[in-house]
A and B are shown apart, each in its own frame.
Chain A
Amino acid sequence: MTALALEIKDLQAWYGESHILHGVNISIPKGQVITLLGRNGAGRTTTLRALLGLTGTRKGSIKVHGVEAINLPTHKIAHLGIGYCPEERGIFASLSCEENLLLPPQLNGTTAGDKGMSLAEIYEMFPNLLERRNSPGTRLSGGEQQMLAVARILRTGANILLLDEISEGLAPVIVKTLARMITTLKAKGFTIVMVEQNFRFAAPLADHFYVMEHGEIVEQFPASELAAKQDTLHTLLGV
């Protein structure tokens, strides 16, 4: 059995009083790419946020590279090797593009192996950013902002990436770039958790699929069973 990069057991989370996650269980071996599917409001974003301790109360167990993280402060969890690309992108308006890019520190947590990409490598991957490097973060186009948000965490050396709807609102060509990027990262041994509405984007990339509904995992299967599960998926996700 391969080592688990991320092991989530019975994770519960609340926003104030609303109980959003009702016991989520996910185990991700190192180097795997998984996709969390589900309808709007199913709790996928919340799962990612809960991993990093960004929700209100949370309960259960979260092991990152075998280290229990449920009681750690957010910044320590990040140092275990997690990079987070939030749904709303979280580009800082008062920072220029490059400042945004340089903002997250290099993680040298216990198990974060990689050194992270250099600025040059990143600009090579996203030439648009090089061009716009000095403009204020929120003046970038939506797509550029999305690239920036992803690129930002590649520099840090985090080897577990939490990507929330990175393809949302992007032109096909950029989506393709992102897909290529994920393939590259996967090849480099990154562990990736994707939250996606865009099934077409996620399908060829993921090794494993989880489907969420009302704060619970209601279905999961490896990529090999994808074809067989079409109908289930349709009832769970389709209108």
Chain B
Amino acid sequence: MIDIFGIPIQAFLGQILLGLVNGSFYAILSLGLAVIFGLLNVINFAHGALYMLGAFLAWMGMQYLGLNYWVMLVVAPILVGIFGMILERLLLRHLYKLDHLYGLLLTFGIALMIEGIFRSFYGVSGQPYPTPESLRGAVNLGFMILPIYRGWIVLASVIVCLFTWFMIEKTRLGSLLRAGTENPKLVEAFGINVPLMITLTYGFGVALAGFAGVLAAPVLQVSPLMGANLIIVVFAVVVIGGMGSIMGSIVTGLGLGVIEGLTKVFWPEASSTVVFIIMAIVLLLRPAGLFGKEK
């Protein structure tokens, strides 16, 4: 058996892979945050709650309507997106002229409410969500037994991230979005309905969160607090990656997942803090984040 720093290589590789799974969630969530921050300049504190909402919708679909995982994997993000758009239209929209901090506070309030409502109906203990039939079981990778579903998480999130990246970097829609981030006023002067674009972007960003929620449902319990615990780490990821940078979010999300996974092996006590420590260091050295542009 080969050891790395006294840890068998199997365990090492295994933890890297698990880190990648967690990193997948970080990546999708921070991607959504980045998209939203880019165009709206709002730190979407409700992101975690909407992630939770996605998971719950999947669970409710199964519980009450008998809809299976694959249906909900499509439907739940759409519903979350629509919900987000309603939020944007009714509430967030009125705050753009004010200090960005109000956006943060508003979404914080929204997060509290959504979480509170689900708590009052379902308690904080999680609801189990079965792994879809077709993704049950595990493959033996030699160094570890990887449940197929975990592999699917990494695959699905990489696909979604790359798809989003492609949409934003390579399509006309994306060019509108990027241009809107740079100079929304001018884009509007070209005749583009920027307010609508903002609504849709917010919808899309939170739909990503919803998607992550559905992905997470079978591995984590579907619980009202699942988002609250995750969101702060994701914030840190966004800050490290560079606020608003798409590729930054994806790469940092996955990377930090892995680093966190490794910390669990080498220095378990620090595993929950390592992301914040990295954040502090990055901020000292590169205030705009690893991939962020200095403004």
Bitwise, B181-214 to A at CB < 8 A (1) or not (0) is 1110111111111110000000000000000000
Task: Say whether chain A's binding surface is mostly helix, strand, loop, or mixed.
Answer: loop
Taking a contact as CB atoms under 8 Å apart, the answer to whether B182 and A78 are in contact is: no
A116 to chain B, nearest CB (A): 12
A74 within 8 A of partner (CB): yes
A109–B175 Cα gap in the complex (Å)? 22
Q: Give the chain A neighbours of B175 by CB distance below 8 A.
A: 92, 95, 99, 102-103
B179 within 8 A of partner (CB): yes
Taking a contact as CB atoms under 8 Å apart, the answer to whether B189 and A74 are in contact is: yes
Q: Please provide the chain A residues from 39 to 76 with a CB less than 8 Å away from any CB of chain B in the complex.
A: 52, 54, 73-75
A44–B45 Cα gap in the complex (Å)? 42
Number of A-B contacts (CB under 8 A): 67
Q: Give the chain B neighbours of A187 by CB distance below 8 A.
A: none
Q: Give the chain B neighbours of A99 by CB distance below 8 A.
A: 172, 175
B176 within 8 A of partner (CB): yes
Taking a contact as CB atoms under 8 Å apart, the answer to whether A104 and B182 are in contact is: no
A107–B189 Cα gap in the complex (Å)? 12
Q: Give the chain A neighbours of B191 by CB distance below 8 A.
A: 75, 78-79, 104-105, 107, 109, 156
Q: Give the chain B neighbours of A107 by CB distance below 8 A.
A: 191
Q: Which of A83, A90, A109 contacts B183 (CB 8 A)?
A: A90
Taking a contact as CB atoms under 8 Å apart, the answer to whether A94 and B178 are in contact is: yes
Taking a contact as CB atoms under 8 Å apart, the answer to whether B179 and A105 are in contact is: no
Taking a contact as CB atoms under 8 Å apart, the answer to whether A156 and B190 are in contact is: yes
Taking a contact as CB atoms under 8 Å apart, the answer to whether B189 and A103 are in contact is: no
Task: Say whether chain B's binding surface is mostly helix, strand, loop, or mixed.
Answer: helix
Q: Give the chain B neighbours of A102 by CB distance below 8 A.
A: 172, 175
Q: Give the chain A neighbours of B185 by CB distance below 8 A.
A: 54, 74
Q: Give the chain B neighbours of A104 by CB distance below 8 A.
A: 190-192
A43–B226 Cα gap in the complex (Å)? 55
A93 within 8 A of partner (CB): yes
A122 to chain B, nearest CB (A): 15
Taking a contact as CB atoms under 8 Å apart, the answer to whether A103 and B193 are in contact is: no
- Known interface pairs A73-B193, A74-B188, A153-B190; 20 further A-B residue pairs with C-beta atoms within 8 A, sorted by A's residue number: A54-B189, A73-B188, A74-B185, A74-B189, A75-B191, A75-B193, A78-B189, A78-B190, A84-B189, A90-B183, A92-B179, A93-B182, A94-B178, A94-B182, A95-B178, A99-B172, A99-B175, A103-B172, A103-B179, A104-B190
Measured CB to CB, the residues of A under 8 A from B are 52, 54, 73-75, 78-79, 83-84, 86, 90, 92-95, 99-100, 102-105, 107, 109, 152-153, 156
Measured CB to CB, the residues of B under 8 A from A are 172, 175-176, 178-179, 181-183, 185-195
A and B contact pairs by CB, cutoff 8 A, 24 listed: A54-B185, A74-B185, A74-B188, A75-B188, A75-B191, A78-B188, A78-B189, A79-B191, A83-B190, A84-B186, A84-B189, A90-B186, A92-B179, A92-B182, A94-B179, A94-B182, A95-B179, A99-B175, A102-B172, A103-B172, A104-B191, A105-B190, A105-B191, A156-B191
